[in-house]
Amino acid sequence: MRYLLWQLAAESTERTPDAVAVSDLGEVLAYGALDRAAASLAGWLAMHGTGRGERVGLLAPKAARNVAAMHGVLRAGAAYVPVDPAAPAVRAGLILGNAGVRTLITTSRLATALWDVNPAALQTVRAVLLVDDPPAPPELPGTPEVCTWREMLTLAPVEAVKQAVETDPAYILYTSGSTGTPKGVVISHRNALTFVEWGIATVGVGPSDRLSGHAPFHFDLSTFDLYAALGAGASVHLVPDRVAPFAVELARWIHTQRITVWYSVPSALIRLLRQGQLERFDYTALRTVLFAGEVFPVKYLRDVMERFPSAAFYNWYGPTETNVCTSYRVPRPLPSGNTDLPIGRACANIEAFALTHDGRVARPGEEGELLVRGPCVMLGYWALPERTAESLDQHPLHRDYADPVYRTGDMVRVRDDEGGFTFLGRRDHMVKTRGYRVELGEIEHVLHECPAVRAAAVVALPDPVIGARIVGAYVPEPDVTTSPSDVLAFCGTRLPRYAVPEHLTQLDELPATSTGKVDRPTLGRLLTTAVNLQESQS
């Protein structure tokens, strides 16, 4: 019986120890090697008292050995916290501090940047594992133990912790928080297994499959790539950071790696379509294309499906808090004039239903907020009991026993066909850009932290390709000389790049409603004009 996430890889290791499990540009790990590294890493964690009830920070690039590291953390009974290695060090420190990690897996460069910026946030860190094997590890003030990957591999392997239970945290994914601080979504072993086992069965992943690893580890899409591959005895091929931004290189990489299952946000596929020169390469091996995270405009989807003629396409939907919870298999050919792609129906062992504004379960044709129930639903937000209670509501129809449902905040229309639901939009100020969740409140919070800024507001302008373009305006403090590029540079030290506004306008005052609130519709029109003007000049 599988009830812990590491059992997926452990079972495949027993069956096929010599088969490739994970590869990147420089390193290929077979199942046996992955398992041995993980067992030694669990030993290193145990040496530092890290086991059940602990979190381990993983601030490291998308590399094969870091997949072994995740596996090792799980074997030790702890949970890992993957942090974007491209995020500003201030933000990474904030997340690691919030999660209270006492052991950290990272590289020399990232560790140095982290300790340079905010050593106070890292006071709890007792041991650091450097996966880049530096000849001379950097000095990290206040940190007792630094170990390299090479040294770690010499440690005696330890048995996996078996007295864990399926509702123990497996990993914590941090997403944008409206109050200005990222919030950690705590995912249990059961949460992840519910999705991964359904995904393996639905896609029919088998030992001969070669999965892409396009999403970064801190993004929930990577859960499928890594664990569906490991669970099926297949291999996952991590898209190198050197390749991913370059459309033609990426198009060639998918071909030369003979990828059979691709999973990404739609905007990555649209970029391949527009700039990847896909007609130059052979994609007959590619049998499945999965996409999630944002709406895929049908006009582009149609063209992508033509370029990948052997592939079955699935539209997956689900916030980080539930993982993928609905799925829609895209018909081939796509019916003409089909403009709203359904998000599909609930996956196995999951209930998804829409609640109307007056508290009824929505019928076909009606709109409502999508609620999700079942073992896919997160344990909660790390150390945020009130925020958790708001999101995990008592099931409105099951009042006689505890039955939490997750309120997605997503508005949907119930369809009267096989498509299940149609996504309509958000109830709040959360937007999606390139598949990433961004709370406009978090960006405004950072803008207000900038010493030169007196007032600021941001809006999301709809964009057919990337979902939303984030643009903003600010009012400077009196007698302060500043410029939009200064303010943007400040944002860049606090926010992930996708959340930094692509345009800022300086104003004498923000447009206001009669009640004194920021008039967002007017600001949106004003900024649309400003952005168009700027683009027509260039």
Partner 1 sequence: MTLSDQLLSFIRTNLLRDEGAQLTPDDSLLDRGLIDSIGLIQIMAFLDTQAGVQIPDHAVTPDNFETVRAIVALVEQVRSGG
Stretch that binds partner 1, among 199-207, 352-360, 450-458, 491-499 (CB under 8 A): 491-499
Compare residues 153 and 248 and give the one whose CB is closer to partner 1.
Answer: 248
Contact call for residue 350 and partner 1 (CB under 8 A): no
For residue 269, count other CB atoms closer than 10 A to its CB: 25
Query: Interface mask (CB under 8 A) for partner 1, residues 42-61, using x and -?
Result: -------------------x
Beta carbon of residue 523, minimum distance to partner 1 (angstroms, whole number): 23
Of 18 and 535, nearer to partner 1 (C-beta) is: 535
SS3 110: helix
The answer to whether residues 313 and 287 touch, using CB atoms and an 8 Å cutoff, is no
Residue with smaller CB distance to partner 1, 19 or 117? 117
Name which of 121 and 247 has its Cβ closer to partner 1.
Answer: 247
| Residue 192 near partner 1 by CB under 8 A | no
* Structure-block tokens of residue 194: 């519910």
Closest to partner 1 by CB, 16 vs 482, is 482
Contact 448, 412 (CB under 8 A): no
Residue 329 interacting with partner 1 (CB under 8 A): no
Residue (25 or 475) nearer to partner 1, CB: 25
Q: CB 144 → partner 1: shortest distance, Å?
A: 25
86 touches partner 1 by CB under 8 A: yes
Burial class (CB in 10 A: 0-12, 13-18, 19+), 178: middle
> Pattern 101-120, binding to partner 1, x per CB under 8 A?
--------x---x--xx---
Q: How far is the CB of 265 from partner 1 (least distance, A)?
A: 10
**Residues 237-256, mask of contacts with partner 1 (x by CB under 8 A):** ----xxxxxxxxx-------
Q: Given the rule CB under 8 A, which of 41-49, 94-102, 387-395, 481-489 is the region that contacts partner 1?
A: 481-489
Residues binding partner 1: number (CB under 8 A): 33
Site for partner 1 in 492-511 (CB under 8 A): 492-493, 497-498
Q: Which ranges of 414-519 would DSSP assign to H, the alpha helix?
A: 440-449, 484-492
Tell me how far, at minimum, the Cβ of 113 lies from partner 1, in Å. 5
R_g of the chain computed on alpha carbons: 23
- Choices 148-156, 235-243, 350-358, 371-379 (CB under 8 A): range interacting with partner 1: 235-243
Q: Residue 451: which residues within 8 A CB-CB, separation 6 or more? A: 477, 480
- Residue 366: helix, strand or coil by DSSP? coil
- The two tokens of residue 24 are 């990147």
Q: Which is nearer to partner 1, 246 or 300 (CB)?
A: 246
Please tell me whether residue 469 adopts helix, strand or coil conformation: strand
The nearest distance, CB 538 to partner 1, in angstroms, is 4
Rule CB under 8 A: is residue 205 a binding residue for partner 1? no
489 binds partner 1 (CB under 8 A): yes
Strands 380-381, 421-426: parallel, antiparallel or unpaired by DSSP?
unpaired
Cα(192)–Cα(221) distance, integer angstroms = 11
For strands 351-355 and 367-373, give the pairing: antiparallel
To partner 1, the closest distance from the beta carbon of 423 in angstroms equals 24
How distant, in Å, are the alpha carbons of 13, 50, 285 from that of 21?
9, 26, 19
Q: Which is nearer to partner 1, 17 or 484 (CB)?
A: 484
Q: Alpha-carbon dihedral of residues 317, 201, 334, 249, nearest 10 degrees? A: 80
Stretch (H or E) spanning 188: strand 183-188
CB of 246 to partner 1, least distance (A): 6
**Cα angle value 242/246/247 (rounded, 5°):** 140
Footprint of partner 1 on 66-85 (CB under 8 A): 85
Three-state secondary structure readout of 247-316: HHHHHHHHHHCCCCEEEECHHHHHHHHHHCCHHHCCCCCCCEEEECCCCCCHHHHHHHHHHCCCCEEEEE
Q: Does 538 bind partner 1 (CB under 8 A)?
A: yes
Report the C-alpha gap between 337 and 326 in whole angstroms: 23
The SS3 of residue 109 is helix
Mask for 429-458, x = binds partner 1 (CB under 8 A): -----x------------------------
User: At closest approach, how far in Å is the CB of 106 from partner 1?
Assistant: 13
Query: Could you give the string, one character per residue 263-302, with x where binding to partner 1 holds by CB under 8 A and - elsewhere?
Result: -----x--x---x-x-------------------------
Q: Which residues bind partner 1 (CB under 8 A)?
A: 61, 85-90, 109, 113, 116-117, 241-249, 268, 271, 275, 277, 434, 485, 488-489, 492-493, 497-498, 538
